Amino acid sequence: MNSLPRTFPARIPVNTIGRLSLYRRLLLEQLGVGARQIYSHQLAGLAVSTAAQVRRDLMTIGFSGSPRKGYAIQELVDAISAVLARSVETSVALVGVGNLGRAILAYYGNRQPIRFAAAFDRAPEKAGRILHGCRCYPAEAMADVMARENIHVGVIAVPAAEAQAVADQLILAGVKGLLNFAPVRLRVPAGLYVENVDLMMALDKVAYYAHELHS
């Protein structure tokens, strides 16, 4: 029955933020299929999780449903969007327009309200090209473009050896969060958020368990 733009007393745990992102996607899908209300155990089924987990997560963002009808899907989507940065536009910069960088641009498309506003690459011949709706600039232009486009999130898709230097540049240019695809742990000032997508680690984990189960 509630919950629009509130000030949240507590800091929301990272894992919860992640699940909210997932719930939101699943809920939008349900809306598309004509559903209007959903029970915690149904959403849990879609998310391959538990009803208790779902209820706890929604409690954390202060959203309530009714015992009779469950949760109103559209309202819940709005509430989650208000918590995630989804109701304001977030401008993002990509650094590193190699195989992975281009795949990232293609993957994210340019769905509002997360917009890839600029890409940077050391190789000067990439400057000026437009890939999946995102313009490439030479690395030197970073500070200027980032300020002009009001970018606060950086995505790092450069080789390991360059990642720390790129992170330093991005931080200097004012980013508050980094999504790092390079297989390195970045050293950043306290408080700045870094999400690592470590593909080597991910594959090692799978190989470990596959091997364990197989033998």
Give contact residues for DNA (rule: CB under 7 A): 13-16, 39-41, 49-53, 55-56, 58-59, 63-68, 70-71
Minimal distance in Å, beta carbon 20 to DNA?
Answer: 11
Q: Do residues 153 and 90 lie in contact, with contact meaning Cβ atoms separated by under 8 Å?
A: yes
Q: For residues 68 and 187, which CB has a smaller minimum distance to a copy of itself in the complex?
A: 187
Using DSSP's 3-state secondary structure scheme, residue 207 falls into helix
DSSP code per residue over 44-103: HHHHTS-HHHHHHHHHHTT---BTTTBEEHHHHHHHHHHHSGGGS-EEEEEE--SHHHHH
Kindly state whether residue 109 participates in binding a copy of itself, applying the rule CB under 8 A: no
Kindly state whether residue 31 participates in binding a copy of itself, applying the rule CB under 8 A: no
Minimal distance in Å, beta carbon 144 to a copy of itself?
Answer: 20
Stretch that binds a copy of itself, among 30-38, 65-73, 136-144, 192-200 (CB under 8 A): 192-200
Q: How many residues bind a copy of itself (CB under 8 A)?
A: 61
Kindly state whether residue 103 participates in binding a copy of itself, applying the rule CB under 8 A: yes
Q: Parallel, antiparallel, or unpaired: how do β-strands 71-72 and 134-138 relate?
A: unpaired
Q: Do residues 6 and 52 lie in contact, with contact meaning Cβ atoms separated by under 8 Å?
A: no
Kindly state whether residue 214 participates in binding a copy of itself, applying the rule CB under 8 A: yes
> Which residue in 82, 67, 65 sits closest to 8, CA to CA?
82
Residue from the set 27, 55, 90, 171 that interacts with a copy of itself by CB under 8 A = 90
Sorted by sequence, the CB contacts under 8 Å of residue 147 that are 6+ apart come out as 173, 174
Minimal distance in Å, beta carbon 80 to DNA?
Answer: 14
